[in-house]
Amino acid sequence: MNPSELIDKASADHPDWRGQTMAEIRRIIRETIPDVTEEWKWRGTPTWSRDGILCICNAFKNMVKVTFLNGAKLEDVDGVFNAELGGNQWRAIKLFQGDKVHARGLKKLLLAAVALNAARTTGNARPARTGGTRAEKPATAKRRPSSATRKTKGGRTAPKAKRVTADDRRDRGRHQAGR
């Protein structure tokens, strides 16, 4: 089965309000972004992509959840996001029985996600660097010994001693007993 058929089956596997909600979300996604790529990822997650993942949709026992993987970077003017609001990566929309899909808000989020992914692929999504670049090291910079070395009394560097753990001692005892 191709991903579109698997997504059809996922909606059909939930003949109640969850399947209808998933089908409505899918319709809005495909209407908003006609050239969206439908994928089936992570052993059963309907996924929609264009220049990167836009969103995923899952049906749970008492809700349908639409997660935007880069939702924290999207402006949610209509206040559609209602879950996963504390993180710095994704945002989600949880829909419970009786909830209506906020089509206009979902469309705005989808278009913003497409724009964000497009900016990332062209390299425009990176924040601007400030302060310019330094051509050479400052005159006071000195080479430091690596972290795998330590200073000795004479100022020379020597390899750090390996930390011996209880497991090492136990293993060492077994090896000596076997001789």
Phi–psi pair at 104, nearest 5 degrees: -65, -45
User: Tokens standing for 74?
Assistant: 């999207």
The pLDDT of residue 135:
43
Establish if 84 belongs to a structural domain.
yes
pLDDT tens digits along 48-96: 999 999 999 999 999 999 999 999 999 999 999 999 999 899 999 999 9
Residues belonging to the chain: 179
The pLDDT of residue 121:
83
Question: Coil, strand, or helix at residue 39?
Answer: strand
Establish if 149 belongs to a structural domain.
no
CATH number, domain containing residue 25 = 3.90.1150.200
Regarding predicted confidence, which is higher, 9 or 146? 9
Phi–psi pair at 73, nearest 5 degrees: -95, 0
Establish if 17 belongs to a structural domain.
yes
- 109 burial (CB, 10 Å; 0-12 / 13-18 / 19+) is buried
pLDDT at 147 over 60: no
Number of domains in the chain: 1
Establish if 140 belongs to a structural domain.
no
| Crossing angle between the packed helical segments 17-32 and 3-12, to the nearest 10 degrees | 150
Domain of residue 52 covers 3-122
The pLDDT of residue 130:
33
The pLDDT of residue 33:
97
Establish if 39 belongs to a structural domain.
yes
Residue with tokens 């439908």: 38
Question: Coil, strand, or helix at residue 16?
Answer: coil
Cβ atoms of residues 50 and 37 within 8 Å: yes
